[in-house]
Structure formats: C-alpha cells, structure tokens
Structure 1
Amino acid sequence: MPDVERERDPAAERTETHETALLGPAQIRALADRLGIRPTKQWGQNFVIDKGTVRRIVRTADVGTGDVVLEVGPGLGSLTLGLLPQVRRVTAVEIDPALATQLPRTVTEHAPELAARLEVVHTDALRVTALPDPQPTALVANLPYNVAVPVVLHLLATVPTLRSVLVMVQLEVAERLAAAPGSRVYGVPSVKAAWYADVTGAGRIGRNVFWPAPNVDSGLVRMVRRDPPEVSASREQVFAVVDAAFAQRRKTLRAALAGWAGSAALAEAHLRAAGVDPRARGEVLTVGDFARIAEAAGQRQSSTP
C-alpha cells in the first residue's frame, strides 16, 4: 500500500508542546543555583520537580482555552509552564522579587511562543485587592503550606470571577478544607470554604515530588464556586458565629456562643430561633446552619426596642 500522510492530531501536538516546556529536577536546581536562590521556610517555598505531578495538577484543574488562571507562588515556573499551553492566560502572583523577575525570562527561554500569555504580579497574595484584566476564572496553585487557607479564602472573597479552584496544600489542610459536618477534622476552614464553593478532595501527593522535600505529604483540593446561603446576614456576621463556635470545640453551642451573643441565654434564644439544638456542637452544623444562626441573631436584635 502506498504511504499515506498521517492526519495531524492537535491533541498530540499540544501534549508534545506541554512535555517540552516542563522543567525537570536538574533544570530546576540549575536555575535556582544560577539565581542564587535557596528555598525559604518564611515563604513556604517547596518547588515541584516532578513533571508527572505538574501534568496531574493541570489535568485535574480541568482548565481550557477560555480560562484565565490565577497562579499564586509560581516559584521557578514548573506549574506555570504546564498551564500556559492549555489556557488563555496565566496571572502569576509572586512575593519573592527574584522569582517574580525571573519567571517571564524562564517562560521566554523554554516556551517563547507562550510568553505573551503570562502576566506576573509582584505582591503578597494576601494583599491582593485587584488584578489586571482579563479577570481570572480559575485559581490553580501549589500554595505555601503556612498561608494556604488564608490565601484561598482571601482570593475567593476578593476575586468574584473565580469559578473554580484547584490547589495543592499540606495533606492535613486539604482534609480540613474538604471535611463534611461530623468529621473529626471538620472546622473553621471547612465551613468558610463551603460558604463560597462545593469542596472536594482530589487526591494525595507524595513529598518526594518537591525540592526541598517537606516533612509531610500534600493533597489536592478542588472547589467549584456556588452561591452562598440565602440569608440576610453578611458573610462577616456568619463567619463571626463560625469562629466563636469552634473556639471552644468541646462546649455545646449554647456555651460556646455565649460570648458572641452576650450571654448563654441569648445564645440559646438565637439558636432556637434558627432551628438549631443549643446542646449541639459546632462540628455537626452545616454552613447553612451557621448562616441561619447569624440571621436569627440579627433579626432578634433589630426587633429589640
């Protein structure tokens, strides 16, 4: 049979581009040496050196050509290079000035055709109040362990265009974020994350995919944005109830919320008005339950002469 030219496979071509753009362990260490960079505990720097893990994160994030990805803590660019071929744009927020300066150079060196898709913002993610257009639709990041929960909650509150989140965090933190009511690890992060999104665990990551290797494993957490509970109470009012309920986990809600409400008797009145058993503990309540408690408190206070 005569030779027939094979039909081009765009998916295969994208995969090949993806492969050639990724950084391996030797490249990452060489780049760090060239820049005189040593990972610091202060900024929770553990760089991903495994290409398979990068591919797994990108695949699990389920982002596409219409997405603008917000990446926090891009470091030396391992995940950035994995994301750029798949999406419309990556806005990378980096606190380390040396890394923020180097990232565009790394992308230009390893994937020059994708350099225009990258925007680097040199700032602390916890100080972000506005981001350049186009606005991010997805957060995909390997987050520093020491600030993972505050960063996620801050960005969900600050960047309303975020529709999805896929972050790699310390395994214990991942389990807490995705915990359901009644779980042993259910707590403040679980409830506050649930205010914004449906949260699920998306897999475990071993410690040897990082340089330097941390002392614990990591976990992937996926969040899909949804509307918060429909109550008249504000997010701040609901979160105040959540904080008070878990400040003393062993106590009943009647006792734990006494300081927040003004007295145990007032706490019980708010709880009963919300349809919540005052003898229950915070770890069995849903985010909707906490929202109703805050709403009931507000309604009772406004009706008091």
Structure 2
Amino acid sequence: MVVEVGPGLGSLTLALLPAARRLYAVEIDPRLAARLPATVAGHAPQHADRLRVLAADALRIGADAFAEPPTALVANLPYNVAVPVLLHLLSQLPTLAHGLIMVQQEVADRLTAGPGSRTYGVPSAKLAWYAAARSAGSVGRSVFWPVPNVDSGLVAFTRHDPPAMPAAPAPPDEAAPGAGAPGATVSREAVFAVVDAAFAQRRKTLRAALGRWAGSPPRAEQLLRSAGVNPSARGESLTIAEFARIAAAAR
C-alpha cells in the first residue's frame, strides 16, 4: 500500500499505479483531487480501481484516513513543507516501512547527513529517530517545466526501531537520579526537545546550548556527564542515540 503526497496532475500517480496494489493519493487542492480519478480513468483505466484519493492536508492527516495500513511513501514532496510532511507521516503512520521521496537537493543533503557533517542538523537527527536514510540520486532542474531555480535529490529511507534504552551507565557520583536504570524509556517528544535545543545555538557547546532546556548550564553538564556525553561537544557531533541518552538522563 503506497502513499503519494501532492499528486498534482497525476504524472507520478500514473507511473505508480501498475506497481501498487493500492495507492492513496493525498492532495490538499480540492480541484486537483477531484480531477485525478478522471485522469487515471483516461490514461490507465485498467488500474483505476487501485486509486484512492484523499482530499486532505498531509500535515494533518492521520492513520484513520486510510482504510488499509500504508507501507510505503513515494512522493515528490512540496519543497516548502517537505521535512514537516515527512516527519509527520512517519509519526502518524507507524506501518510506513520504507519510502522514496524527491525533495530540494539542499533538503536531501540535510536529511541524509550523518553526525559530524556540516549539513547535519535537526532534520537529520529527527529522521534518524525513525529510519535509516540514504541519498538515492539527484535530479537536474532541466527535467521540469517550468524549470525551477534549484536541483532536486532523491532520498530513500527504511524504518527502524528507535534507539534502545538504557545506555551505558555513568559513574555513580555523576549519575542523575534514574539515569541508566534498566528498562528506562524516553519519549520521542522528549528526545526531539533536546535536539531542538542543541541546534538552536549550533556553534555553542552542549553545556551552553542545553542550559535553558536543563534549567542551567551546570545542570546541563550534570545530565550530559550522566548520559556519557562530553559537555564540550556540539550537537552536530551527536547521534540520535546520544540525544536519547541525554533525554533519558533528565527523567
């Protein structure tokens, strides 16, 4: 079961239908949503029964909108909302196991960047919570009409489980209460709050960047040491598992 976001005039839709048992096309524009079934009936009538059009905002849609659990996302995501749409769908549709999306090349670079890269940031870390992502190629601007001012990139992802807890325990004299306790869990919201705080002041050390989130720089340093993270490090060097350890230390 495939989800396509922003089918527009249906070019990608027509290419996907032969390979999909069911295709859910999520279109926010009611005029385009109303037109899509006729386009498919005219160009691929043998596959028309596979199409389900959802006239909805992809940033608001939930699992209850789908009669069957979707397992794949294949879409040319609107450039201005690509990251929020992707993260929203991964959070709301836990059955999404994999996907291939086209986004602006700059966004593709950020989504697939790893720790230590200058393009690694909030999108990279948050996507890593849900899935392993990789670059699947680039698309030149000349293949589009009208020709955009940017190149595009393909991003492939495969869902995995969130980082396991707990992490390696810190020394007893540095551990915060409950940190590293067997069976400890941490919510996605808590981890993403740490990610947001760490990158809000990207060039600062984690001790300084997380000061407001933790209540004070000294408290931030305590939690970082408890989580086994160097307080002098910067957010761009941390894996999503390390962000999760920091969030767990604050429980």
CA deviations over 1:264-290 (Å, ceiling 9, x no partner): 000000000000000000000000000
Give the aligned residue type for 1:146: N
Aligned residue for 2:129? 195
- Helix, strand or coil: the match of 2:25? strand
Structure (1 or 2) with the larger CA radius of gyration: 1
Alignment of 1:126-205 (within 5 A): 126-129=59-62, 130-205=64-139
Q: Which among 217, 225, 229 is matched to residue 151 of structure 2?
A: 217
Q: Does 1:235 align with 2:188?
A: yes
1:257 aligns with 2:190: no
Mapped to 1, the partners of 2:66 and 2:206 lie a distance apart of 43
Which runs of no fewer than 5 residues in structure 1 stay unpaired?
Answer: 1-67, 299-305
Tell me, in whole angstroms, the C-alpha distance in 1 between the residues paired with 2:141 and 2:35. Answer: 25
Distance 2:69 2:35 in 1: 23
- Report the Cα offset of residue 134 of structure 1: 1.5
SS in 2 for 1:295: helix
1:297 aligns with 2:250: yes
Cα separation, 2, equivalents of 1:210 and 1:295: 46
1:132 Cα offset (Å):
2.0
Which runs of structure 1 show a deviation greater than 3 angstroms over 4 or more consecutive aligned residues?
A: none
Give the C-alpha shift of residue 165 in structure 1.
Answer: 1.4
Question: Which one of 78, 100, 118 corresponds to residue 51 of structure 2?
Answer: 118
Deviations 1:80-113 (A, max 9, x none): 0000001101000000111100100000000111
Q: Distance in 1 between matches of 2:142 and 2:8?
A: 17
- Corresponding residue SS for 1:127: coil
> 1:285 pairs with 231, 238, 248, which one?
238
Secondary structure of 2:13 counterpart: helix
2:59 and 2:117 map into 1 onto residues whose CA distance is 29
Identity of aligned residues (%): 67
**CA positional deviation for 1:136:** 0.7
Q: CA deviation at 1:254?
A: 0.0
**Number of residues paired by the alignment?**
231
Local SS of the residue matching 1:276: coil
SS at structure 2 position matched to 1:169:
strand
Give, in angstroms, the shift of residue 230 of structure 1. 1.8
Q: Secondary structure at the match of 1:102?
A: helix
Equivalent in the alignment of 1:226: 160
Give per-residue Cα distances to partners, 1:204-258, cap 9 Å, x unaligned: 0011222222100000000100000123110000000000000001100000000
Distance in 2 between residues matched to 1:132 and 1:285, nearest whole Å: 36
CA distance in 2, matches of 1:260, 1:291: 14
Q: Distance in 2 between matches of 1:132 and 1:283?
A: 37
Tell me how large the CA RMSD over aligned residues is.
0.6
Q: Report the secondary structure of 2:115's partner residue.
A: coil
Taking structure 1 as the reference length, the TM-score comes to 0.75
Q: Secondary structure at the match of 1:76?
A: coil
Query: 1:289 is paired with a residue of what secondary structure?
Result: helix
1:107 and 2:60 aligned: no
Partners of 1:291 and 1:213 in 2: CA distance: 42
